[in-house]
Structure 1
Amino acid sequence: MQFSIRGQQIEVTEALKDYVDKKLSRLDKYFDAPLTSEGNVTLSVVRGLHTVEVTIPLPGVVLRAEDRSEDMYASIDGVVDKLERQIRKHKTKLNRKFRQDGSLKMMFVEDGAAVGPVPVDQDEDEFKVVRTKRFIMKPMNVQEAILQMNMVGHNFFVFTNIDSQDVNVVYKRDDGKYGLIERD
């Protein structure tokens, strides 16, 4: 898998690039076929904290993890560990669900377009949209949408409901349960 590595308030040296590539190549063992999508890695430093964000769009799934520490190399190690835990956790859950259709490995490499959330950062004082993302919404049921939301680590997920063909939103409630927003 190829990764687009960029830095914010930090110069990305060849040593950092090599370290990121070496560590993220550990994820290859979880897939039957080589991954063809391009992942995004953002390295940044804010107030002494070194942050690493990794987004890997896969067919039907988006893997995303973030880690912060006082050392860039420790943050890289931490984000790879989080991605591995995420893959193992959701592979087990989805394998149970799709047992008759094949394993999650097969679903990752054979399905169509990538799906993901629409992260929008807002400045609370000005309500200014500083980032917009577009994505293809694969039709899915509510349970699949909840799994996707948990997989990317967000508290909401926008999807096309396979039953109604409407755009719906699932969200995590404060009590730990889930909610569904449908169009009237």
Structure 2
Amino acid sequence: MNFNIRGENLEVTPALRSYVEKKVGKLEKYFEESTISDVHVNLQVFNNQQTIEVTIPMSQLLLRAEETHTDLYAAIDLVVEKLERQIRKHKTKVNRKFRNDGSVKYMFRNEVPAGPTFEDEDEFDIVRTKRFSLKPMDTEEAVLQMDMLGHSFFVFSNSVNGETNVVYRRKDGRYGLIEPQ
């Protein structure tokens, strides 16, 4: 694994770098030898919160996890647990779906190290379905509608281009817009 560790409002000390490499490096046991090339780690400090974001781009899969905690070392442990859950979940799904060579299935080792199983997470249980008509509106009106409803996202038909868009509230309190390509 090649680590790219960056710190924002934080100096990445050799001890911190070593801890991140040791913890995230444990994920190598889940992959075939040549699968992982780069691991991008971003460490941030904002107010009293320590945030770690780990991104592992692969040829057919992107693993990404982010965790915020008051203790940076605890955040590192939590983000590694999240990534392990993602890997186990993907491996189980992929073993069911893909059967041909070169698929994502062959990125993971056949023997998964002992640990907790996450069978419950493999099935997505849809408990409610909503249907509604998409009223044409601009993004500002969609944000106002979202705020009035108290939701964190809002799906709407964009009156400018006629496409279906989504506005959402970001963690920093600002807004984002998702448009199809």
1:53-64 matches, within 5 Å, as 53-64=53-64
Name 1:115's counterpart in structure 2: none
1:20 aligned to 2:8? no
Amino acid at match of 1:101: N
Name 1:136's counterpart in structure 2: none
Moved over 6 A (4+): none
1:68 aligned to 2:68? yes
Which one has the largest radius of gyration? 2
> What is the deviation of 1:21?
0.3
Distance in 1 separating the partners of 2:11 and 2:180 = 45
Distance in 2 separating the partners of 1:7 and 1:67 = 15
The alignment partner of 1:101 has SS state of coil
Name 2:84's counterpart in structure 1: 84
Name 1:101's counterpart in structure 2: 100
1:47 aligned to 2:47? yes
Name 1:35's counterpart in structure 2: 35
C-alpha contact 1:38 1:56 (8 A) present in aligned 2: yes
Name 2:8's counterpart in structure 1: 8
Give the total of aligned pairs: 116
The alignment partner of 1:35 has SS state of coil
Distance in 1 separating the partners of 2:49 and 2:180 = 40
Check 1:20–1:55 CA distance in 2 against 1; reply closer, same or farther (3 A cut): same
- Unpaired segments ≥5 residues, structure 1: 110-123, 125-154, 156-168, 172-180
The alignment partner of 2:11 has SS state of coil
Q: Which structure has more RCO (C-alpha within 8 Å, separation ≥ 6)?
A: 1
C-alpha contact 1:56 1:63 (8 A) present in aligned 2: yes
Distance in 2 separating the partners of 1:107 and 1:30 = 9
Name 1:144's counterpart in structure 2: none
> What is the deviation of 1:37?
2.1
Q: Deviations over 1:54-83 (max 9, x none)?
A: 000011111000001000000000100000
C-alpha contact 2:94 2:105 (8 A) present in aligned 1: no
C-alpha contact 1:28 1:34 (8 A) present in aligned 2: no
Q: Deviations over 1:3-52 (max 9, x none)?
A: 10000000100000000000011111111223342111000011110000
- Unpaired segments ≥5 residues, structure 2: 110-139, 141-152, 154-163, 167-178
Q: CA RMSD of the aligned region, Å?
A: 2.9
C-alpha contact 1:50 1:71 (8 A) present in aligned 2: yes
> What is the deviation of 1:108?
6.5
1:171-182 matches, within 5 Å, as none
Distance in 2 separating the partners of 1:62 and 1:43 = 19
> What is the deviation of 1:105?
4.8
